[in-house]
A and B are shown apart, each in its own frame.
Chain A
Amino acid sequence: MTAPAPLVRARDLHVSFVSRDATVKAVNGVDLDLDAGEVLCILGESGSGKSVTLRALMRLNPPNKAVVSGELSVAGHDMVTISDRQLSSVRGKVVSMIFQEPMTALDPVYTIGRQIGETLVRHEGIGRREAEQRALELLELVQIPSAKRRLQAYPHELSGGLRQRAMIAMAISCRPQLLLADEPTTALDATVQIQILLLLRQLQQELGMGVIFVTHDLGVAGEIADRIAVMYAGRMVEAGSTVDVMRGPLHPYAKGLLGATVHSGLRGTRLTTIPGSPPDLRHPIEGCAFAPRCPHALETCSAGVPEFRPMQAGRAVRCFRSEEIAGATTRPPSRTTPQGVLLP
């Protein structure tokens, strides 16, 4: 007997969006492993390819525009060659997703109960009535108060937090092995964010799901993840356990992200920003994609794409100079934001 296959295994995953005007290479060779019951957080700013990667895991990118290549298996299903028919029975049953904006991700003219029940009817072969009953239990599981009444509610009648809870109830309704969460707390108020995170963590532990969580918020990542992977310009630039990455990021971009985050452990230090903006993925990038924004970049950094090199203790980094930089403890000499000065 070989060791059980990982829940998710991706090798050299590429996703590009082809239109008449341009081809956008959104994901350029991502390797990814996730064990059952593990929580991985993919960090990155908008346009880094993190959401596209997540959607690629269940082939949710627009089918007529997105071109996927590489190896990808989820719970034993080969997601690159899978037939549409099989795909539809994997989605929602084996793997399901929570979206960023529950207002637009829920159908406005169907009741919450109906939308949750629909998934159950589809995958568990039960009737509408029974599905309704199960939906009620699910709403109670995600701690929606007066669940019975909320079953008959339409999305616009619920608050943002309740909508996201309903969305979660829908996603976990068939006890998936893998839950994908695309910035599920970004659109919510700060207090509600914490509640949703706590709920997700609790559900993850109760149901033993593998979770991949996409966010640009390091705080969120620290709250919930076992491991963190940082993405930039469609590639992984750093990966490691949450504690390791948060304590000592190896990649200058990861360092920059940490520096730009309000972090309780770093009280008193100045907030920094990463100057510039991510590269335009319509054009080919030569060399390290982060080099134009990197405070440590040398001319050699633009010569070739750095490899994703494994480091000690299950860590990996994509930087030519990570060892040299790691020696220097000083923060990158970036611009200081005015807000940073005002912090205690």
Chain B
Amino acid sequence: MTTTYSSGIAEDAAPPKVAENDDTYWRAVGRRLMRDKVTLFCGAILMLMAALILFAPLVAPYGPTDGSIVRRLKPIGTPGHLLGTDELGRDMLSRLLHGGRYSWFVGITPVAIAFLVGGSIGIIAGFAGGKINMAIMRVTDVFYAFPSVLLAVAVSGSLGAGIANAIMSLTIVFIPPIIRVAESVTTGVRNLDYAEAARATGAGARSIVVVHILPNVLGPIFVYATSLVGVSMIVASGLSFLGLGIKPPDPEWGLMLNTLRSAIYSQPMIATLPGICIFMTSVCFNFVSDGLRTAMDVRA
């Protein structure tokens, strides 16, 4: 007999155990991820890229700024220069590997900081409710009144070029949207029955936050933050493309793209290489983020 019966009674009787539920939840997430070939593939590419740029000094055949004018703009496949050389005769492969360190760093750091800062502020706003919530969300609205690229460009344009300034301006751009997501998720979870129940049984605010709200809130905020990494990579390299961000002669993909614009007539393939790197990174991050969202069953 394969007839199954509702387990409704058993579920009702047992007190909710967050840790245990989490365990099975994460196992289910893992299983769904393992089935998602696109996400796995993109994740693997990202890992490979991360490893390559992390060990760039060991992997790269030349230093990122070594070059001679004599050997400038050699085509792809030149002996000794697998991906050719740039407009100043520097090895493209080496520069791409080293440039990735800056691009990834400037792309990911703002999102990470914004996740911590914006996430905390949003959770506080959502949990506090009332006037505090109102105040925080109204300030957030102001930053929402700027198109994101404009805000990044304006702030880092005022601050001037430099890695720190680029990171700071991007962080300012990403904090408000993360606050919004964190606030709405927290408010949602806070109003759920079991948080109400926890409050009714006399659990203090602290324990409600730690035990009930945090585990349910961090997942969606994290997924949202990962979805920003792709954009962040593009805008970060875009800032360097505009001459904000990383200063020459240091390699950075956006900056390389800009300096190679003069080469589009002579070596178009080489000129587009840094862009392909940015594109690949961004696509992979977006696919992985989508996969995570699906696997973790987070509604957008």
Question: A residues near B, CB below 8 A?
Answer: 276-277, 279-280, 283-286, 289, 292, 302
Which residues of B1-59 have CB atoms within 8 Å of chain A's CB atoms?
Answer: 1-6
Number of A-B contacts (CB under 8 A): 19
Interface size range on B against A:
under 10
Residues of chain A within 8 A of B4, CB atoms compared: 279-280, 283
The one of A276, A283, A284 that contacts B5, using a Cβ cutoff of 8 Å: A276
Residues of chain B within 8 A of A279, CB atoms compared: 3-4
Pairwise interchain contact A283-B2, C-beta atoms closer than 8 A: yes
Residues of chain A within 8 A of B2, CB atoms compared: 280, 283-285
Nearest 10 A-B pairs (CB), nearest first? A283-B2, A279-B3, A277-B6, A280-B4, A292-B3, A277-B5, A276-B5, A280-B3, A302-B1, A285-B3
> Taking the nearest CB of chain A, how far is it from the CB of B297, in angstroms?
15
> Taking the nearest CB of chain B, how far is it from the CB of A72, in angstroms?
28
Residues of chain A within 8 A of B6, CB atoms compared: 277
Smallest CB gap from A279: residue in B: B3
> Taking the nearest CB of chain A, how far is it from the CB of B8, in angstroms?
8
B contact face: mostly helix, strand, loop, or mixed? loop
Residues of chain B within 8 A of A302, CB atoms compared: 1
A292 and B23 CA atoms in complex are apart in Å by 34
Residues of chain B within 8 A of A280, CB atoms compared: 2-4
A286 and B2 CA atoms in complex are apart in Å by 8
Residues of chain A within 8 A of B5, CB atoms compared: 276-277
Residues of chain B within 8 A of A284, CB atoms compared: 2
A134 and B72 CA atoms in complex are apart in Å by 81
> Taking the nearest CB of chain A, how far is it from the CB of B3, in angstroms?
4
Smallest CB gap from A275: residue in B: B5
Smallest CB gap from A289: residue in B: B3
15 contacts between A and B (CB under 8 A): A276-B5, A277-B5, A277-B6, A279-B3, A280-B2, A280-B3, A280-B4, A283-B2, A283-B3, A284-B2, A285-B2, A285-B3, A286-B1, A289-B3, A292-B1
Residues of chain B within 8 A of A286, CB atoms compared: 1
A279 and B2 CA atoms in complex are apart in Å by 9
Smallest CB gap from B6: residue in A: A277
> Taking the nearest CB of chain A, how far is it from the CB of B12, in angstroms?
14
Smallest CB gap from A280: residue in B: B4
Residues of chain B within 8 A of A283, CB atoms compared: 2-4
Residues of chain B within 8 A of A285, CB atoms compared: 2-3
New A-B pairs, 15, CB < 8 Å, besides A280-B2, A292-B3: A276-B5, A277-B5, A279-B3, A279-B4, A280-B3, A280-B4, A283-B2, A283-B3, A284-B2, A285-B2, A285-B3, A286-B1, A289-B3, A292-B1, A302-B1
A283 and B5 CA atoms in complex are apart in Å by 12
Smallest CB gap from A287: residue in B: B1
Interface centre among B1, B3, B4, B6, by most chain A C-beta atoms within 10 angstroms, is: B3
Which residues of B227-269 have CB atoms within 8 Å of chain A's CB atoms?
Answer: none
Smallest CB gap from B8: residue in A: A277
Which residues of B201-231 have CB atoms within 8 Å of chain A's CB atoms?
Answer: none
A276 and B3 CA atoms in complex are apart in Å by 11
A286 and B3 CA atoms in complex are apart in Å by 9
> Taking the nearest CB of chain B, how far is it from the CB of A48, in angstroms?
14
Smallest CB gap from B3: residue in A: A279
A227 and B193 CA atoms in complex are apart in Å by 44
> Taking the nearest CB of chain A, how far is it from the CB of B56, in angstroms?
43
> Taking the nearest CB of chain A, how far is it from the CB of B232, in angstroms?
35
A284 and B2 CA atoms in complex are apart in Å by 7
Smallest CB gap from A292: residue in B: B3
Residues of chain B within 8 A of A277, CB atoms compared: 5-6
